[in-house]
Structure 1
Amino acid sequence: MSPVRIISISKVQLPTNAGTDYPSTGSTIPLSFFDVQWIPILPMKTLLLYPSAMILSSSFDSFKSSLALTLPHFHLLAGDLTYRPSTDDVAIVCSDESGVTLIEAESDLDIFRLAGDSTHDVESFFHLVPNKFHEEMPMPVLSVQFTKFSGCGVAVGISVHHAAMDASGFSHFIDFWAKTCCHGIPPIASISERKRLTRRVFTVDLATIQLLKQRVAQGAAIDISSPPTTFQVLAAHTWISIARVRGITAENNKPTSMVFHMDGRTLLPPPMSASYTGNCLFPGVVHSTGSAIMSDTGFGQTCGNIAETVRKNRAELMGSTVREFQPLNFASLRGLKVVFAGSTRLQWLDTDFGWGKPEFEGLVSMTYDGDVVMAAGKEKGSVQITVGLKEDMDPFTRAFQEGLETLTKH
Structure 2
Amino acid sequence: MNVLEVCRVPPPPEAAPSAAASETSLPLTFFDLVWLRLRPVERLFFYELPNPPSFFFHSVLPKLKYSLSLTLHHFFPLSGNIKWPRHCRKPFIHYISGDGVSLTVAESNADFNILSSSDFSDAEESRLLVPDLIVSDDEASIVALQITLFPNAGFSIGITTHHAAMDGKSSTLFMKSWAYICSKLDESSSDSSLPGNLMPFFDRSVMKDSSGVAEIFSNHWSKQGEPNNRSLKWWDIKSTNQGKPIRGTFELVPSNIQKLKQIAESKLNKKVHLSTFSVTCAYMLNCLVKAEQTKQDKFLFIFAVDCRSRLDPPIPPTYFGSCVGGAKAVAETNTLLGNDGFIAALEAISDALKRFEDGGLSGAEKWMAEIQSLGKTHRFFSTAGSPRFEVYGIDFGWGRPKKVEIVSIGKTGAFSLSESRNGSGGIEIGLVLNRPEMEAFTALFHEGLASGS
TM-score by length of 2: 0.80
2:124 and 2:240 map into 1 onto residues whose CA distance is: 10
Task: Name the structure 1 match of 2:443.
Answer: 398
Distance 1:243 1:402, change over 3 A: same
Aligned to 2:269: 222
Q: Residue deviations 1:109-153, cap 9 Å, x none?
A: 221121125223222212211136346653321111111122231
Task: Tell whether 2:431 aligns with 1:387.
Answer: yes
**What is the DSSP-based 3-state SS (H/G/I as helix, E as strand, rest coil) of the residue aligned with 2:299?**
strand
Who is 2:172 aligned against? 171
How do 1:168-247 and structure 2 match up within 5 A?
168-184=169-185, 186=192, 187-189=235-237, 197-219=245-267, 221-226=268-273, 228-247=274-293
Q: Return 307-316 or 267-276, whichever deviates more.
A: 307-316
Separation (CA, whole Å) in 1 of partners of 2:20 and 2:34: 23
Tell me the residue number matched to 1:114.
115
Q: Which runs of 5+ in 1 are unaligned?
A: none
SS of 2:389 mapped into structure 1: coil
Question: How many residue pairs end up in the alignment?
Answer: 398
Note if contact 1:194-1:368 (Cα within 8 Å) is conserved in structure 2: no
Counterpart mapping for 1:11-410 below 5 A? 11-16=8-13, 18=15, 20=17, 23-54=20-51, 55-56=55-56, 57-131=58-132, 133-134=134-135, 137-184=138-185, 186=192, 187-189=235-237, 197-219=245-267, 221-226=268-273, 228-248=274-294, 254-317=297-360, 324=365, 326-327=367-368, 329-333=371-375, 334-368=377-411, 370-379=413-422, 380-390=424-434, 392-407=437-452
Once residues 274 and 163 of structure 1 are traced to their aligned partners in structure 2, the CA distance between those partners, rounded to angstroms, is 18
The unaligned stretches of length 5 or more in structure 2 are 186-190, 193-234
- Once the two structures are superposed, residues 228-254 of structure 1 have per-residue CA deviations (whole angstroms, 9 ceiling, x without a partner) of 001111100110111112225xxx993
Decide whether the 8 Å contact of 1:79 with 1:94 is kept in 2.
yes
- TM-aligned CA distance change 1:85 to 1:369, over 3 Å: closer
2:84 alignment partner AA: Y
Secondary structure of the corresponding residue to residue 345 of structure 1:
helix
- Could you list the per-position Cα deviations for residues 301-327 of structure 1 after superposition, in whole angstroms to 9, with x for gaps in the alignment? 42233122102222253xx56854522
Q: Distance in 1 between matches of 2:304 and 2:91?
A: 23
Say if 1:230 and 1:344, in contact at 8 Å, map to a contact too.
Answer: no
Calculate percent identity across the aligned residue pairs.
25
1:377–1:335 distance in 2 versus 1, CA, 3 Å: same
State the match for 2:202 in structure 1: none
Give CA deviations for 1:251-306 in whole Å, capped at 9, x if unaligned. x9932221111111100111111220200111111111244334443323422331
Contact kept? 1:84, 1:90, Cα under 8 Å? yes
Runs of 4+ deviating beyond 6 Å? 190-195
CA distance in 2 between partners of 1:366 and 1:243 (Å): 17
Using the alignment, how far apart are the partners of 2:317 and 2:242 within structure 1? 33
Q: Give the AA of the match of 1:394.
A: E
Which secondary structure does the structure 2 equivalent of 1:38 belong to?
coil
Separation (CA, whole Å) in 2 of partners of 1:311 and 1:38:
23
Which residue identity is paired with 2:317? A
| Structure 1 residue 189: Cα displacement | 4.4
Displacement after TM superposition at 1:96 (Å): 3.1
Structure-2 change in CA distance of 1:124 and 1:12 (3 Å): same
Offset, 1:68: 1.1
Shift of 1:194: 8.5
The TM-score, its normalising length taken from structure 1, stands at: 0.88
SS of the residue corresponding to residue 311 of structure 2 reads coil
Cα distance change on mapping 1:287 and 1:107 into 2, 3 Å: same
Amino acid at match of 2:82: L
Please state whether the residue corresponding to 2:356 is helix, strand or coil: helix
Q: How much does 1:14 deviate?
A: 2.2
CA displacement, residues 193-212 of structure 1 (integer Å, 9 cap, x when unaligned): 79854331111111111111
CA 1:95 to 1:189, structure 2 compared with 1: closer, same or farther past 3 Å? farther
